[in-house]
């Protein structure tokens, strides 16, 4: 039976800790490496910088923090599987820095590990909102063999759908062309371009029959993380001014309008303005 324990990193190490794993993104203030007696430091499994800052250990935000961090954890199947494998060898102590011993990210991590997330390398199932009881999708690179499916999705997504030439060009140019799928079924696709510290989301599309279930937001969060990991500090996108659903998804994930391009889109029934939206996704001080 796997055993995960919680401990504040500032408390003295003890033999019963077993494997001591720090699960903070930042090194704990004032802590000496030797005193921490770490076996591992999984900084990448910690809450994203934005989530951590938003939470700020405000007890009123705890329920929402817990839900949002569980969503973030859903994409860390590899790290969860590693922790489960470690726990197969003996106790694993998850070390955190927060003063609050109950309401911290390590407690959420322990909760999902105790629920069995990451067992056998499987994607975790989310037992909490927004997608109750649902399997988690996986994100993978788009290939030529996806194009027929993608074109079908495109025709149900945009008044000016991408053509096969546009998709092939994006693949050739090495854009981050991604597919989100669940049990082999394609739920949606996206195209992201990262150039010299900036990223642009060129396309995001969720199948017409499955919208409004949280897939778009989940995909967007994955793309933000991917762009950030590729070194981008800002993520830009253009959206039709009347596309309320998309604007709501983007606003909900911290994007702000930074410009407007009049009559930018050429549509079958005329022209429409584009809103330019952007979000800072870098590590340092926000510059947008
Ligand atoms: C935009 C799109 C990707 C959103 O995907 P989705 O899976 O439907 O969105 P989600 O279910 O994750 O919704 C996330 C948020 O947006 C809101 N939202 C989604 N569809 C909405 C709609 N039609 N009207 C108002 N709000 C909507 C949700 O309520 C949710 O907000 P909440 O958490 O505050 O309730 C999807 O609608 C789509 O593929 N549209 C066609 C293609 C497109 O327009 N792409 C964007 C190009 S810039």
pLDDT, position 267 = 86
Domain positions in the chain are 4-128, 138-280
- Cα dihedral value 133, 138, 143, 148, nearest 10: 10
DSSP collapsed to 3 states, 80-103: HHHHHHHHCCCCEEEEECCCCCCC
DSSP 162: P
Close Cβ partners of 7 (under 8 Å, ≥ 6 residues apart) = 17, 20, 93, 94, 95, 96
Please give the distance, rounded to the nearest whole angstrom, from the Cα atom of residue 190 to the centre of ligand 1. Answer: 14
Cα end-to-end distance, the chain, whole Å: 48
C-alpha to C-alpha distance for 237 and 199, rounded to whole angstroms: 9
Q: Over the chain, what is the mean pLDDT?
A: 88
Taking the C-alpha atoms of residue 273 and residue 265, their distance in angstroms, rounded to an integer, is 6
Pick from 113, 114, 189: nearest CA to 151? 189
**The predicted structure's pLDDT at residue 132:** 44
- Residue-wise pLDDT for 85-116, tens only, equals 999 999 999 999 999 999 999 999 999 898 88
Ligand 1 centroid – CA 94 distance (Å): 36
Architecture field, domain 138-280: 3-Layer(aba) Sandwich (3.40)
Is any ligand 1 atom within 6 A of the Cβ of residue 216? Answer: yes
Q: Across the strands, what pairs with 40?
A: 21
Q: Copy the structure tokens of residue 4.
A: 């995960």
Give nearest CA residue, ligand 1 atom 34: 252
Give the Cα separation of 278 and 259 in Å (integer).
Answer: 9
Residue 234 Cα to ligand 1 midpoint, Å, equals 21
Q: How many CA atoms lie within 13 A of 233 on its CB side?
A: 8
Query: For ligand 1, atom 12, which residue shows the shortest CA distance?
Result: 214
Q: Which two tokens stand for residue 192?
A: 């992201």
Q: Would you say the CB of residue 11 lies under 6 angstroms from ligand 1?
A: no
How remote is the CA of residue 17 from the centroid of ligand 1, in Å? 45
* Token code pair at residue 26: 């930042």
What pLDDT sits at residue 213?
85
> Is 25 close to ligand 1, i.e. is its CB under 6 Å away?
no
Half-sphere exposure in the Cβ direction for 211 (13 Å, CA): 13
CB environment 242-257: b (16+ within 10 A), e (fewer): ebeebbebbeebebee
- Reported as a single tens digit per residue, the pLDDT across 201-229 is 999 999 988 888 889 999 999 999 999 98
Question: Side-chain half-sphere of 32: how many Cα atoms within 13 Å?
Answer: 4
Q: CA 229 to CA 221: how far, in whole Å?
A: 12
- pLDDT of residue 284 exceeding 70: no
Q: Is the CB of 214 inside a 6 Å radius of any atom of ligand 1?
A: yes
Token pair for 221: 């969060």
Q: Are strands 234-240 and 198-206 parallel, antiparallel or unpaired?
A: parallel
pLDDT at residue 95, rounded to an integer: 97
Question: How far away, in angstroms, is 156 Cα from ligand 1 center?
Answer: 14
pLDDT tens column, 178-202: 999 988 889 999 999 999 889 999 9
With 0.85 as the threshold, say if the pTM is over it: no
Q: What is the atom index within ligand 1 of the atom nearest the CA of 201?
A: 48
């Amino acid at each position: 039976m796997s055993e995960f324990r919680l401990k504040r990193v500032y408390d003295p190490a003890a033999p019963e800790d077993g494997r001591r794993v720090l699960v903070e993104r930042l090194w704990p203030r004032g802590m000496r490496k030797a005193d921490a007696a770490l076996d591992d430091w999984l900084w990448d499994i910690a809450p994203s910088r934005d989530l951590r800052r938003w939470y700020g250990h405000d007890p009123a935000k705890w329920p929402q923090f817990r839900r949002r961090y569980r969503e973030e954890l859903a994409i860390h199947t590899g790290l969860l599987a590693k922790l489960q494998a470690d726990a197969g060898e003996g106790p694993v102590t998850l070390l955190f820095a927060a003063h609050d011993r109950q309401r911290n990210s390590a407690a959420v991590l322990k909760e999902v590990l105790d629920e069995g997330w990451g067992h056998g390398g499987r994607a975790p199932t989310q037992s909490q909102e927004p997608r109750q009881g649902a399997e988690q999708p996986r994100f993978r690179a788009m290939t030529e063999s996806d194009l027929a499916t993608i074109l079908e999705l495109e025709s149900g997504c945009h008044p000016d759908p991408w053509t096969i030439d546009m998709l092939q060009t994006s693949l050739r140019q090495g854009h981050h062309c991604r597919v989100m799928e669940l049990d082999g079924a394609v739920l949606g696709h996206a195209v992201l371009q990262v150039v010299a510290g900036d990223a642009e989301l060129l396309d995001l599309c969720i199948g017409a029959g499955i919208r409004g279930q949280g897939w778009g937001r989940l995909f967007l969060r994955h793309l933000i993380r991917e762009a950030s990991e590729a070194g981008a500090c800002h993520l830009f996108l253009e959206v039709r001014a009347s596309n309320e659903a998309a604007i709501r998804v983007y606003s909900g994930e911290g994007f702000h309008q930074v410009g407007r391009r009049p009559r930018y889109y050429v549509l079958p029934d005329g022209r429409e303005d584009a809103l330019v939206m952007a979000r800072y996704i870098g590590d340092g001080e926000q510059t947008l």
